[in-house]
Structure 1
Amino acid sequence: MEGPEGGAAVSAVGFGVRGPRGWVFRGVDIDAAPGSLVAVEGPSGSGRTCLLLALTGRMRSAEGTATVAGSRLPKQLSAVRRVSALAHVPGVTDLDPALTVAEHIRERALLQRRFDGSLRGLLRGVLRPRSARRAEARHRTDAALAAAGLDLDALPKGPRTAVRDLERVEALRLSLALALAGEPLVIAVDDTDLKLADTERAEVWAQLRAVAAAGTTVVAVCSRAPDDADVVVSTAPARPTAVTATPTPTDKEAADALAEAGRA
């Protein structure tokens, strides 16, 4: 179900993913309205990233069901992938440290124009004047950067700043902007508070809250959920709330699951 601002409802009942060595997570129940900020809380290695990948159609579930924007998982993986995006997911959306911010943005715009949308939309785009296509691309890029809170002029070398020279929060904002450029209904963000100071953590959550308030449903992994999250699920086995993961996956299982996501 789509919300009035373009977000999507996300729900799950008894949702689980099984890897080669056992359950990565299982028993997940979620009920999030369109435009919600959903915090997936738990320690590293408890299946948090795999839950994000499964909810966005990048990983096939083994039990239970989930519904994203009206499409059911695991049967409609491709439909869910079309309306969702990933940001800041290690091993899946890694930024190239040698490329500049501007190069990442240009690359994303090219991929967006070539692979996103319907065939009819692509044909319409080809027939439109080049100036109109460029203006639309700039508008979408500017809107995504604003939504992610990334000010290019404030970077050390502006758009020519290399990714390796970005602060941790700036890199997260860039990854978020690249994902938002596709105008997804749902965006999944990994490691939102990894190695961040309290002030930085508060800054990131405020930005994600703004993204959700603008209509995009946000599902974000964290070690500690913010007080203002609309929905909190936990993958910590010692404190099962909305999510129970048994057993905690090993590093090998997590690597296998990420490899499977890359093939999806």
Structure 2
Amino acid sequence: MDSPLGVALSAEDFGLKGPRGWAFRGVGFSARPGSLIAIEGDSGSGRTCLLLALTGRMRSTHGHAEVGGVRLPGRLAAVRRFSALGPVPGVSELDPSLTVGEHLRERTLLRHRFDDSFRSLLLSRARRTAAAKDVADAALDAAGLDLADLPKSERTQVRDLERLAALRLSVALALTNGPGLLAVDDTDLGLGATDRASAWELLRSVAAAGTTVLAVCTEAPEGSLAVRSRPGNVMTAADGRTAGTTDASDSTDADADAADTDPDADPDADDNEKGKADAIAEAGRA
């Protein structure tokens, strides 16, 4: 696995408005490389759209963001080159019919397909295979997934994985290219208190190793920069949980209330689910 170098993130009045209203708006925060950034809110509040926009998978319509020195919404492809998606429903889900080993081999093949460096071309097939195994092993170790602990080791099908193990596998696959930014959706969905704590411990360790982590959740953990959704999909950053790792510009409740009564707002702006669906449908055309 390549040595990751985390990227800085910032946003100013960042938003996305589709035909049926806002997916998210008013996002403003600043985070240093290696930060753990938690996008906190209820389902349908625009959390996933914001995650996809900040990783170059969806084009925003208002304000701007800067990811690793690349300004958005301008250079989406540049951001995609150094960002990786963990589990994102409907975008980068694991195939339940495949085994863990098949997922790892598939990722290895994809990595070779897009690694056209001169150094890689000089390696023999045996050395490429050995290097790929080293990459996979390092990624699995970083994600805390021990294949020996699975019911059938690498032959375990994804549908038979516990939720936390599936999350670890998704993170491991995303880490194989040594991204500067790792994005994870629905981090705490379906997890009990113990597994939820383990999931956040995993993401903290990834961030501590140098990769910036962007994670969607219903409740941000201690030590993270929490970007919280507000009524009307205005998002504000709160630095009360950052433990000195980031700087955040916090909007006020009055700002959120004012946005709710904006006379120029789309009449369907409160239809969060529809706005999110529109934005996801348009992601491929960004």
Query: Is the TM value for this pair above 0.5?
Result: yes
Deviation at 1:240, TM superposition (A): 5.5
Residues 181 and 5 (structure 1 numbering): CA distance in 2 closer, same or farther, change over 3 Å?
closer
145-154 or 214-223: which moved more? 145-154
Q: Give the counterpart of 1:237 among 219, 231, 234.
A: 231
**What SS does the corresponding residue of 2:133 show, helix, strand or coil?**
helix
Match of 1:53 in 2: 52
CA distance in 1: counterparts of 2:89 and 2:81, whole angstroms: 21
Match of 1:260 in 2: 282
> Among residues 127, 150, 154, which one is paired with 1:159 in the alignment?
154
Larger radius of gyration: 2
Matches for 1:19-168 after TM superposition, within 5 Å = 19-115=18-114, 117=115, 119=116, 121=117, 123-168=118-163
Q: What are the superposed Cα offsets for residues 132-167 of structure 1, whole Å, 9 maximum, x if unpaired?
A: 211221111111111111111100000000000000
The count of corresponding residues between Structure 1 and Structure 2 is 256
Identity among equivalent positions (%) equals 60
Task: State the 1:94 CA deviation.
Answer: 1.0
Runs of at least 5 residues in structure 1 that lack an aligned partner in the other structure: none
From 236, 250, 259, the equivalent of 2:272 is 250
Contact 1:45/1:248 (<8 A) preserved = no
- Deviation at residue 249 of structure 1 after TM alignment: 4.2
Letter in 2 for 1:142: D
CA contact (8 A) 1:47 1:248 kept: no
**Counterpart of 1:11 in structure 2: which amino acid?**
S
TM-score relative to the length of structure 1:
0.92
Structure 2 gaps, min length 5? 238-250, 261-268
Letter of the 2:275 counterpart: E
Which residue does 2:171 correspond to in 1? 176
Q: Residues 240 and 29 of structure 1: is their aligned pair in 2 closer, same or farther, counting only changes over 3 Å?
A: closer
Instruction: Give the AA of the match of 1:237.
Output: P
Question: Please, what is the CA RMSD of the aligned residues?
Answer: 1.9
SS at the partner of 1:12?
Answer: strand
Q: Which piece of structure 1 moves more, 132-141 or 178-187? A: 132-141
Classify the secondary structure of the residue corresponding to 1:156: coil
When the two structures are superposed, what TM-score results if normalisation uses the length of structure 2? 0.85
CA contact (8 A) 1:225 1:232 kept: yes
Render the CA deviation track for 1:202-260: whole Å, top value 9, x for unaligned: 0000000000000000010000010121x111013289532769644433322222222
Q: Check conservation: 2:27, 2:236, Cα contact below 8 A.
A: no
Q: How does 1:166-205 map to 2 (within 5 A)?
A: 166-205=161-200
Conservation of the 8 A alpha-carbon contact between 2:26 and 2:235: no
Q: Secondary structure at the match of 2:236?
A: coil
* C-alpha spacing 1:241/1:25, structure 2 compared with 1 (3 Å): same
